[in-house]
Amino acid sequence: MTSAGSNEVLSPEAQVTITGRNVEVPEHFQDRVNAKLAKIEKLDPTLTFFHVELQHEPNPRREAHAQRIQITATGKGHLARAEAKEDSFYAALESAVGKLERSLRKVKVRREISRSGHRAPKSTGEIAAQLEAEAREARAAAEDASADPYDHLVDDFQPGQIVRRKEHPATPMSVDDALSEMELVGHDFFLFIDKETSRPSVVYRRHAYDYGLIALAHE
């Protein structure tokens, strides 16, 4: 790390790769990315690798969201991911970093609560500030969800198409770990094998900042 008066670029200890799809990544933008990730790294000292991907989506109907950035952070036994689409890569970077920071902070608090075995009491001001921040985040998520993220992948639109398939390891985990994984990847649900019941299960977000759990019952 460097001092404010140094000409050196602030950069994280973790390895960083920055790639571009349909776009060249200028050096000054790489410096901006490194400076942002250096601050993110402080939230999780176990992070060892960042992959940042820039993509220009040449769709005239989506010009306001044509510049896409996805950040994947890999740590000890886990990863975190955040994505944003804006009218410029600088705006997309700010948005993606903000999402990643919120996810890492949530998981950090969850782990601290899990280790302590109880929730620390909060003041009225802290609760109000938390609710306001979560409301802003929910509104931003709703705005992101209003646009079809796969619109650029489908040339001939036909309702009911499966436009993406994905698989991930079926490593058994606790419900609490599944909630942390859901927060880290920035999704509204997470499919996993519950290690206590050995059943396929799903945790998901509910209204009022609560979570839900769905499990398959044995025949």
184 three-state secondary structure: helix
Which domain-ending residue is among 112, 140, 157?
A: 112
Q: Which amino acid is present at 119?
A: R
Burial zone of 69 (CB within 10 Å; 0-12 exposed, 13-18 middle, 19+ buried)? buried
Query: Can you give the pLDDT at residue 146?
Result: 44
- Statement to judge: residues 19 and 101 lie in one domain: yes
pLDDT at position 115: 66
* Parent domain of 89: 15-112
CATH number for the domain spanning 57: value is 3.30.160.100
- Tell me the C-alpha to C-alpha distance, in Å, between residue 62 and each of 6, 83, 140, 162, 187: 40, 16, 17, 21, 22
CATH number for the domain harbouring residue 177: 3.30.505.50
Type of residue found at 181: E
HSE (CB half, 13 Å, CA atoms) of 107?
23
Are residue 108 and residue 183 in the same domain, yes or no?
A: no
Which one, of 196, 185, 154, lies nearest residue 75 by Cα? 185
pLDDT, position 167: 78
Q: How many domains does the chain have?
A: 2
pTM tops 0.75: no
Residues of the chain with pLDDT below 50 are 1-6, 127, 142, 145-150, 152-154
Q: Identify the pLDDT of residue 37.
A: 93
**CA dist., res. 171 & res. 201, Å (int):** 12
**pLDDT for residue 144:** 52
